[in-house]
A and B are shown apart, each in its own frame.
Chain A
Amino acid sequence: MQYTQKVLDHFMKPHNVGKMEEPDAYATEGSPACGDQVTVYLKVNKATQIIDDISFLSYGCASNIATASIITDLAKGKTLDEAKQITWRDAVEALDGLPPIKVHCSVLAADTLQSAISNYEIANGLKEVPEFSKQTILDELKKIIYPKVGEDIITLKMVKYVGFSNGEVLIDLNIMSFDEWRENIAEEIREHLQKYPDVKDIQINFP
């Protein structure tokens, strides 16, 4: 495993780290059981909608800390609309790359930033609580990284079918039995979807 110098710099001396007192919004994503958890805090200028201040806490490995650090750098001073465009790919690029097996860390960092922004918008009447739909499932699946290549499973066309009715999620995955990551990915999908109260049951099928 080789980390770039930028990853090491942000890991050893992370930017914007620490708990924020009285944030305007925050979000925590991930869970200790999955091995990583990130919290992002925001202070937003109400008039200009600019992110005046941002900070994070991270329970995780070196790349988890580094990606959270870079994501806060990328978002600081941006308007909410600009910050909403920031993705995990931007974080990976800004760090001069990540080992494929570590790309999922950048997804968690970007995800937490987006959740914090969403929480701010909901709390300030800028948007409604989004309704759970098939699109929500697709958005979540875009956050699942295939560790061997460091790309998401939608882009890699590993998802054949997604269905949702009466609280039941049905997903057909195009991952063979000999693939060492098959169970890993199924487990991660469940972790991502179980947090939605609308989801009662998740069925994942393989060829």
Chain B
Amino acid sequence: MPEERIYLDNCVTTRPAPEVLSAMQPFLTEEFWYPASFVSTGERISAVLDEFRTTFARTINAQASEIHFTAGGTLANNIAIKGLISAVYTRGKHIICSVVDYPDLLTNAAYFENMGFEVTYLTADSEAFVSADELKKAIRPDTLLFMTTAVNHVVGTIQPLSDYARVLAEADHKIYYHVDAGQAYGKMKLDMQELGIDTMAVSGHKIHAPQGVGFLFTKKGTKLSQVIHGVRRIDNFQTGGISVALIAGFAKAAEMLFADLEGQINHLYDLSGYLLEKLEANLDHIELNGPRGTARACHNINVSIDYIEGEAIAMMLDLEGITVATGSACASQGLQPNYILMAIGKNHVQSHGSIKLTLSRYTARAQIDRVVEKLTAITRELRQRSPLYQAVIAKER
């Protein structure tokens, strides 16, 4: 019997918590209703949705009325970005984001570019930080929106959100501030009273809720044009149906995580620190991609293993029952190296040899030991086969 699979791709999706599944159960059975006024079934659902809004609001120091349910993070990003621009497009035509943003933001930027808007893509430094000074320089009188990815989805860099807020507050006119918090929610403190964010997108399945649910924070007074038109059931912005059960599961996941956020973050920092330490002790010719320590998110380790290729590494680990991700072109549908790694100055070889290991509350120390042991053996094996490595050791001799 193979051992239980070790899943270290938690940046993509996470295992739903058993408590989350239990919390969903009533809304898939006895209480399957939609919200409505005056009838008891509908009022019961309206009341629980209000409770869930309050639950989420508490996690980010916001008000319940500022929370909008969506069917996932990408929808939340689209409703916010398209809704904001549509509401203020007569005032300007300039948008700012960065080359290391999440595809949700970059594809929206490209969409508006095609529509005739102008987009400034801020560059990032070698650790994927996008500086607030660069943002300041990019602001123009016709700038409508700045959007950013709070935690980089490839190398885990935590962007300076409060510095951005300060720069935007100092601007001569109102510039809307949108944040994609897909990788950030539950991995760092996000205080809406402190950060000056206008809209923020959050995804459920990154924190052990099921796939297909998220929420959008919109600061009180922020006007968004309607992007998704239809019947109003659960939410004003995402009209139509959203699964109450999924929202209930997401609320439970948030409740569990935020009961002791600091403790969970510290626990993941301990684990990821241990993983990196072990990797660096066991493997030579490797390099950490992105920053070290608390400048990166607690769950993310991304290393380039020189002279070998990431798809081969990931496949061998897969056959050992271990799931990881790679930035190798060979593993991508477009045969292109990872755009984040290229944007922070890594070369093709470093991108090809990159392995991303992302942890969750279900990752155990013993699993990390096993992963490092297997990865060490695989690296040795693939390097034996690699002409690049053979050339290096010939030189070293």
Contacts and interface: CB of A to CB of B under 8 A. Distances in A.
A101 B332 CA distance: 10
Query: Looking at chain B, what size class is its interface with the partner chain?
Result: 20 to 34
Contacts of A11: 312, 315
Nearest to B332: A101
Most buried by A among B308, B311, B328, B347: B311
Interface of A: 8, 11-12, 14, 17-19, 28, 32-39, 57-62, 64-65, 101, 147, 180, 184
Contact of B309 (A14, A18, A19, A59): A59
Contact of A62 (B315, B335, B384, B387): B315
22 contacts: A17-B384, A18-B384, A18-B385, A28-B387, A32-B352, A33-B349, A34-B348, A35-B329, A35-B335, A35-B337, A36-B309, A36-B330, A57-B390, A58-B385, A59-B387, A61-B311, A61-B328, A62-B315, A65-B312, A101-B333, A101-B335, A184-B334
B216 interface: no
B86 interface: no
Given A8-B319, A17-B385, A35-B348, A61 B335 contact: no
Given A19-B390, A62-B312, 13 more contacts: A11-B315, A12-B319, A35-B309, A35-B352, A57-B385, A57-B387, A57-B390, A59-B307, A61-B309, A65-B385, A101-B333, A180-B334, A184-B334
Interface in B373-387: 384-387
Contacts of B347: 33
B335 A184 contact: yes
Contacts of B348: 32-35
A18 B389 CA distance: 12
B354 to A, nearest CB: 12
B320 to A, nearest CB: 10
B182 to A, nearest CB: 25
Nearest to A7: B315
Given A17-B385, A57-B386, A184-B335, A64 B309 contact: yes
B388 interface: yes
Contacts of A65: 312, 385
Question: Across chains A and B, which 10 residue pairs bring their CB atoms closest together, nearest first?
Answer: A61-B330, A61-B311, A57-B387, A39-B387, A59-B386, A33-B348, A32-B349, A62-B315, A59-B388, A35-B329
Contacts of B349: 32-33
B253 to A, nearest CB: 31
Contact of B385 (A14, A32, A35, A101): A14
A60 B330 contact: yes
B57 interface: no
B390 A35 contact: no
B313 to A, nearest CB: 9
Nearest to B388: A59
A166 to B, nearest CB: 32
B288 interface: no
A61 B312 contact: yes
Contacts of A62: 311-312, 315
B387 A35 contact: no
Contacts of A38: 387
A163 to B, nearest CB: 28
B331 interface: yes
Contacts of B385: 14, 17-18, 57-58, 65
A62 B389 CA distance: 17
A12 B316 contact: yes
Most buried by B among A17, A65, A184: A65
Contacts of B311: 61-62
Nearest to A39: B387
Interface in B305-353: 307-309, 311-312, 315-316, 319, 328-331, 333-335, 337, 347-349, 352
Contacts of A32: 348-349, 352, 388
